[in-house]
Amino acid sequence: MPKIVDAGARRLEIADAVFRVIRRDGVDQASLRAVAAEAGLVIGSVRHYFATHDEMIVFAVRTLADRVTARIAERAERIFAGTPDRLEATVRLLAELLPHDETRAAEAEVWLAFTVAARTRPELAAEAERVHEGTRALTRRCLAEADALGSLRPGLNLALEAERLAALLDGLTLGGVTQPGRLPPRLARDVLRRQLESLRA
């Protein structure tokens, strides 16, 4: 009998191969042939699931964004459930976006490579914008909920502070990937915590 292959699972396997190639060699090297070799497949098998190179890359970007979004949503439920220290819980939640362990470092490295590539590759621009906006939606929500609880200083411009917090996360991610010796995970979390403390009532 012919082997039955789960198409969804195989597409995710190929996306993971895309991530490994990009992390090791960069976006420009993530060709159909290179990804097929990384996944242990023949190039025809990859073409069976992705008609074009662009389709494969866009699917990989979307997969990465969906994984991070799902993890943050799941973590938010547990982090904020009955915690007495909302500030520390917020630090823990936002730190999910920082390269503080192997999984998150790999995600951050690949994401930064995608972001740079999106400047000159229109097919990646929409996904890059979706993640950019997702980070800002998260910071807006964290600050709006804290403000509703009376935890923030009165008179803050929440839209501006949410953008500033998101920009800080972007910078900490970049620093953590490009200069991990200068910006280790604990220091990155301390910087994030200090920023949130500066907004407290």
Of residues 184, 193, 90, the one with CA closest to residue 141: 90
Whole-number Å distance between alpha carbons of 64 and 135 = 14
Question: Above 70 in pLDDT, residue 124?
Answer: yes
Helix 158-178, helix 185-197: angle, nearest 10? 170
Q: Residue 3's pLDDT band (boundaries 50, 70, 90)? A: low
Q: Are 43 and 36 in contact (CB under 8 A)?
A: yes
Question: Above 50 in pLDDT, residue 2?
Answer: no
| pLDDT tens digits, 151-160 | 999 999 999 9
Q: What percent of the chain has pLDDT over 90?
A: 76
| pLDDT tens digits, 75-117 | 887 777 766 788 888 999 999 999 999 999 999 999 999 999 9
Task: Return the pLDDT at 4.
Answer: 62
DSSP string for residues in the chain: -PPP--HHHHHHHHHHHHHHHHHHH-GGG--HHHHHHHHT--HHHHHHH-SSHHHHHHHHHHHHHHHHHHHHHHHHHHHHTT-S-HHHHHHHHHGGGS--SHHHHHHHHHHHHHHHHHTT-HHHHHHHHHHHHHHHHHHHHHHHHHHHTT-B-TT--HHHHHHHHHHHHHHHHHHHHH-TTTS-HHHHHHHHHHHHHTTB-
Fold of 53-198: Tetracycline Repressor; domain 2 (1.10.357)
**β-bridge mates for residue 200, sequence order:** 152
Whole-number Å distance between alpha carbons of 39 and 65 = 21
Task: Return the pLDDT at 78.
Answer: 75
Of residues 137, 194, 190, 192, the one with CA closest to residue 162: 137
Task: Return the pLDDT at 180.
Answer: 93
| pLDDT tens digits, 23-65 | 999 999 999 999 999 999 999 999 999 999 999 999 999 999 9
Average pLDDT, the chain: 91
